[in-house]
Amino acid sequence: MLLLDREALNFIFSRGFWRMSLLWTFSLLGSYLKLVIDGVSGKTITFPRLHPDASTRPVCIITGATSGLGEAAVKCLLDEGFYVILAGRSSGLLSKTVEELGQKGNVLLKEFVVDLASLDSMLKFKESVQQWLIDSGLHPSIQLLINNAGILATSQSYTIDGYDRMIGTNYFGAFSLTNLLLPLLRNSYQPSRIVNVTSFTHRSISEIIISEKTLTVGDMRTFTCSNGYPFARIYEYSKLCLLMFSYELHRQLCLSDPLHHVSVTAADPGVVKTGIMREVPFSISRMAYKVLDLAGLLQSPEMGVSSIIDAALAPPDASGRYFFGGGGRTTKSSALSYNKEFSEQLWTCSNKLLHQKLSGPDHHFTAQ
């Protein structure tokens, strides 16, 4: 118990704690305030949910699908008639989730192990999905990809590919997986959709530097912090990059496909009680959730998943929108997230890094 108290005390005196406590709270309140102001002024743009034809057996892939928002999204999309592919790192948790959901009746589920921190794992995942589609007699395509997996790491470590673990998982993993699966989305017999689950914390960043170094090792000088690992800022950075990627991919797809056969949306679920803070000292995370609950800002996964499902089922012309607050509502993300120059830099650097990995001696795959 003494060790836990000392750990919590050290955490409280870190810059990351105060950034989370203050900037993240202001960012969240600012998001809700903007939603209210837009509603009063009549500027709110909402989109209806288009329910798919279950007889066509649309296929959806959800990463981070064994708990929290991912599991809640699985349940919702099963109800919509999707054949859901659960993607996660733990084969045990995947099997357990499929077994529990399968007890509810005739559900269409398939699980695959994939680690977004490993390009090799993602390549094997794509090959396995393609083969499974063929063996199952399904159309060789997918209709929905939800990049939901994410982590909040309080200490620095690196992925097997040499990336900072948070940036590698939260951003570059989603970027890479989307590019690998894009041919299957383009091959869809009906309009397909990519949903990137981002966070209001991206609003805490007022300036950004994009380079191959910041996208790999999370250069400490870039994050202006000499006192330990700047986990809060790097988390914000990873979520901002994911959002900017969403907008840039939308623009790129519009150039080649103005009818939005493949569309891209971003979803911000707000604050949801999940396992995202598992690396934060337990007493701190418990206190934070209690305060947020008393303030009426904490949601269960079943409530928070609303914006994700809104983004997944919105019509094709919702491409490029930022879903927040449920009820099909969209709002504007930070001004920085719409900066086209930075988005293009991010696109160029990310593509270069991905192609370098794919063209390495161990790979024989060309991104499309």
Residue 99 falls inside a structural domain? yes
Looking up tokens 């990873």, which residue turns up? Answer: 238
Count of the separate structural domains present in the chain: 1
- Calculate helix-pair angle for 68-79, 91-102, nearest 10 degrees: 40
Q: Tell me whether residue 287 is in a domain.
A: yes
Q: Is 9 a member of any domain?
A: no
Cα–Cα dist 130/182, whole Å = 12
Pairwise CA distance, residues 341 & 306, whole Å: 32
Q: What are phi and psi of 114, to 5 degrees?
A: -150, 140
Instruction: Single out the residue of 358, 282, 301 nearest to residue 74, CA to CA.
Output: 301
Q: Is residue 25 part of a domain?
A: no
3-state secondary structure of 84: strand
Domain that holds residue 87: 52-358
Does the residue 148 lie in any domain? yes
Nearest-angstrom CA–CA distance, 143 and 135 = 18
Query: How far is the first Cα of the chain from the last one, in angstroms, to the nearest whole number?
Result: 53
Q: Which two tokens stand for residue 73?
A: 């999204």
Question: E-assigned strands of the chain?
Answer: 45-46, 59-63, 83-88, 109-113, 144-147, 192-197, 262-268, 271-272, 298-299, 322-324, 329-331
CATH code for the domain in which residue 256 is found: 3.40.50.720
- What's the full length of the chain, in residues? 368
User: Is residue 40 a part of any domain in this protein?
Assistant: no
**What pLDDT is attached to residue 5?**
72
Helix (H, G, I), strand (E, B) or coil at 138: coil
**DSSP bridge partners of 194:** 145, 264
* Tens digit of pLDDT at every position of the chain (368 positions): 444 578 888 888 888 899 999 999 999 999 999 999 999 998 889 999 999 987 888 999 999 999 999 999 999 999 999 999 999 999 999 999 999 888 766 678 999 999 999 999 999 999 999 999 999 999 999 999 999 999 999 998 999 988 999 999 999 999 999 999 999 999 999 999 999 999 999 999 998 989 888 888 665 455 555 568 899 999 999 999 999 999 999 999 988 877 779 999 999 999 999 989 999 988 899 999 999 999 999 999 999 999 999 999 999 999 999 999 999 999 999 999 999 999 999 999 999 999 998 886 555 433 34
- Structural domain includes residue 187: yes
Look at residue 39 and tell me if it is in a domain.
Answer: no
**Which structure tokens are listed for 58?**
């649309």
Q: Give the span between the Cα atoms of 196 and 54, in whole angstroms.
A: 23
- The DSSP annotation for 219-265 comes to -GGGGT--SS--HHHHHHHHHHHHHHHHHHHHHHHHHH-TT-SEEEE
Residues 163, 118: Cα–Cα separation, whole Å: 10
Cβ within 8 Å of residue 24, ≥6 positions away: 200, 201, 204, 232
Q: What is the pLDDT of residue 223?
A: 57
Q: Would you state the pLDDT for residue 256?
A: 80
